[in-house]
Amino acid sequence: MDSHKEETKRSYDLSARALAQKFDDIGPRVKDIEEVFSLIGKSDPITLEIGCGNGRDAAEICRHTKRYLGIDLSPEMVHLAEAKVPRAKFVVADVEAYDFPKTDAVFAFASLRHLPRESLRLVFNKIFDSLNQGGIFRLSLKQADSYQEVTKKDQYGLRTFYLYPKEAIIDYLRRFAVVKMETVVFRDQKWLEATLRKF
């Protein structure tokens, strides 16, 4: 594990409860989750959430399926998720090394922003390969005018983020069909929000 990833993981572990409160204050992404399940159109689809954190969105996702798996690099975050959503399955895992199961839907809400370029390409390809035909990938990533590596120290510790220009993200996602893609601004930060399908 590289030093940036190790330090970021350590910060999430040490600040898990404070970050969980922050995530809960923002609230689950109900509309986005409902949209994905409406696009899948099947009962109890197999669902993977990358970067499940404290289970904020897992509780909402599990309203739509009994077959949910959440993964996160932080053991402390997974511990909080297990307490919040005991009926769900969670695993401590590094998304780059984890063998994805075959799945109908993959959610990555603000979690892949910790991956540099080559790692992001790798993970996008793993997601595509794991999805069943017609499967949906719901992604949100920090967006900037150029590729940037940003190491930030705040009350939650030292964490490294990667920002991407929209054109690069589109290129990395070219194996997918775009259902919807837009740039939104949240707390003075641009985010690329994308819903993609495997055909």
CATH number for 137: 3.40.50.150
Q: Average model confidence (pLDDT) for the chain?
A: 95
Number of domains in the chain: 1
Q: pLDDT tens digit string along 82-122?
A: 999 999 999 999 999 999 999 999 999 999 999 999 999 99
Distance, CA of 69 to CA of 90 (rounded, Å): 6
* Cα gap 72→51, rounded to integer Å: 5
pLDDT tens-digit profile of 109-119?
999 999 999 99
- Please, what is the angle between helix 75-84 and helix 3-14, to 10°? 40
| pLDDT means over runs of 10, the chain (199 residues) | 90 96 94 97 96 96 97 97 97 96 97 95 97 97 95 94 95 96 90 96
* Parent domain of 141: 3-197
At a CB cut-off of 8 Å and minimum separation 6, what does 171 contact? none
pTM: 0.95
